[in-house]
Structure 1
Amino acid sequence: MIDQTGGADELHIAEVPDPIRINDEVIVRVVAAGVNPIDAKTRAGRGVAAAIPSYPAVLGADFAGVVESVPYSAHPLQPGDRVYGMGRVPRVGGSYAELIAVSSLGVTRMPTTLSFAEAAAVPLAALTAWGAVVDTARVHDGQRMLVHAGAGGVGHFAVQFAAYFGAIVTATCSASNAEFLHELGARRVVDYTSERFDEVVSEQDVVIDLIGNVKDATGSRSLDVLRPAGLIVSVPTGAWPAMAEEAAERGIRSTGYTVAPDARTLSVITRLIDDGAVRVQLDRELPLEAGAEAHRLIEAGHVRGKVVLRVAPDPA
């Protein structure tokens, strides 16, 4: 938890009361929690920090664990079920904890082919990728799509969803991740350390921007690779404030994207994972006590896939 916003060392272990279940909520005993850039931004005082109602605050949006209690006896989920999902942090306490209260609309049974740690790496990143690629960009066969930061948490799912639905995918990454992205379905990979993507890529229908203008004007330069009336979907919060104006001046469509806890879509993603159509990349698993280290890794970038915190041992 954090007692105030600030650096990564603000994260520390302490005791808080158990969450109280209300209405449609499910109480889940957390086994593993995903670590996402929005967690680090919020801890630092950005992100959704302004909505933290009081301190101490428990961070963490997504989780994998075991159902502890449900709203009523005939509920589709039952105590003991292995589930994963995401909550509305900081409206409620987060997943960096032994217990989380989450709306039943945001939790579903986890893939049978994944460990708890792997499952915790999925919900927020995969739902974000699905929302950007499938719901917003309307991915389809033959669509030309550029995905920035393709090896990251959201990026590696975005590449796979785009390729699964028939898009011609180009992705940016460092040289060490090129083979990995080809394996995920990228037709072309641009090593940003040796090439400028806007000099070698053109006539894209869609750009999935997972960087914005916080590094090397990636967002603004992306406008140069889109066809007229193409679409840029920029995901990071606060990373490119002038996007709409810049895109409009160029005749480019633009939008941000904000993920929602959606168990129905997560259930579709679960089937793709269990069928072997989508794989989950776990960069590393750290103990809950190493929350500060996890945040520093996220803030430094260059993570392949996701970082996960181990909250409890796997249940028997």
Structure 2
Amino acid sequence: MSTPMRVMELVRFGAADTAFAARERPRPTPGPGQVLVRVMATSVNPLDLQTRRGDYRDQVALPAVIGNDVSGVVVEAGPGADDFQPGDEVWYLAPVFVGQGTYAEFHVVDQALVARKPARLSHVEAAGLALVGVTVWEGLVERAGVRVGERVLVHGGAGGVGSVAVQVARALGAEVVTTARARDHEFLSELGADVAIDFSTGDYVPQVRATGAVDVVLDTVGGDTLTRSPEVLTDRGRVVSIVDTPEPQNLLAAWGVNATYHFVFVSPGRAKLEALGRWVDQGELRPMIGAVLPLADIAKAHSLLEGGPAGEGRRRPRGKIAIAVHPLDQQPHETRASARRS
């Protein structure tokens, strides 16, 4: 009989407080080229909220275990999986809508998607960086091709993706402009932002234009960002969006500045994680963890990310909401210390 493991299952689409249930499932067994990982930490992303609400119900059959970020420890390697040994600390982004997700004590994954966890990161920190880090890498490095000396506008700089994007754009040698509420401006300056604009005080477009045009816009907020980006772009500027845009967008103005638009739905990969890990090791990049909750509180984590009642009236935290799947006091000493600092 298979050893059971604890999971949080998505049992119905809809509100967070009725969507999840604690269940037991058989612990998975790694197949050829796969590793079994004890999940020390995962995190909650907007993609998870969309999945829970039912936006992707055609891809998700209930009951389901969702989630995509993992930092953990290899406990078993399948046939031909020679890259890792039991005891190795690893992190990765699990494939979206493929197999079991990461709201679980154990997870099986192809070793080709796995990288060794940067020593400077706790498991909580690494889990908070995987999906957002790869998203930013694809957006700013692979799609926009940000170059030294360019100006990059990051919308929503205090969020999970935005806080990483500010640091990555800075590491690429760009000047960074970002939008956020005034209370977050000092925080963003510490991350490397050159200009922070309070979007809540009025139209952000004239405020950005007063500082100069930008070469790249990273859209993490949606709304009319795609329509209005040409108003702040240089000629042949680039726009990268990671947001679903079901409502029509008027992109006629994009022709006037020869703009290029990119739409990113993230894909996992070891090379991207290793590149991010090098920045971590060099002190250029650090994940921002705004809250850490246990796996049993996954519904509360979803509501907190949405700013809902399970957040007990608190505003949405800066950076990421991480999930400690195994208690922090069971992690190595240096991991506990790092997690407290976050």
Asked if 1:40 is matched to 2:54, the reply is no
User: Contact between 1:26 and 1:103, CA under 8 Å: does it hold in 2?
Assistant: yes
Deviation at 1:246, TM superposition (A): 6.3
- TM-score w.r.t. length of structure 1: 0.92
Within 5 Å, which residues of 2 pair with 1:176-255?
Answer: 176-202=183-209, 203-213=213-223, 217-238=224-245, 241-242=248-249, 247-248=254-255, 251-255=258-262
State the match for 1:308 in structure 2.
322
Distance change in 2, residues 1:131/1:196 (3 Å): same
Aligned-residue CA RMSD (Å)? 1.9
Which deviates more, 12-21 or 239-248? Answer: 239-248
SS of 2:268's partner is coil
User: Contact between 2:12 and 2:20, CA under 8 Å: does it hold in 1?
Assistant: no
Q: Which consecutive residues of structure 1, in runs of 5 or more, have no partner in the other structure?
A: none
Q: How far apart are the structure 2 equivalents of 1:247 and 1:19?
A: 49
State the match for 2:22 in structure 1.
13
Q: How far apart are the structure 1 equivalents of 2:25 and 2:96?
A: 16
User: Contact between 2:227 and 2:249, CA under 8 Å: does it hold in 1?
Assistant: no
Asked if 1:165 is matched to 2:172, the reply is yes
State the match for 2:95 in structure 1.
88
Q: How far apart are the structure 2 equivalents of 1:245 and 1:4?
A: 41
Q: Please, which of 71, 83, 89 is the counterpart of residue 64 of structure 1?
A: 71
User: Contact between 2:240 and 2:264, CA under 8 Å: does it hold in 1?
Assistant: yes
Letter in 1 for 2:183: S
State the match for 1:49 in structure 2.
57
Asked if 1:23 is matched to 2:32, the reply is yes
Within 5 Å, which residues of 2 pair with 1:133-144?
Answer: 133-144=140-151
User: Contact between 1:86 and 1:102, CA under 8 Å: does it hold in 2?
Assistant: no
Deviation at 1:250, TM superposition (A): 6.3
SS of 1:12's partner is strand
State the match for 1:289 in structure 2.
296
Letter in 2 for 1:180: F
Q: How far apart are the structure 1 equivalents of 2:20 and 2:225?
A: 31
Asked if 1:109 is matched to 2:119, the reply is no
Deviation at 1:63, TM superposition (A): 1.1
Deviation at 1:259, TM superposition (A): 1.1
Deviation at 1:278, TM superposition (A): 0.9
- TM-score w.r.t. length of structure 2: 0.86
Which deviates more, 95-104 or 300-309? Answer: 300-309
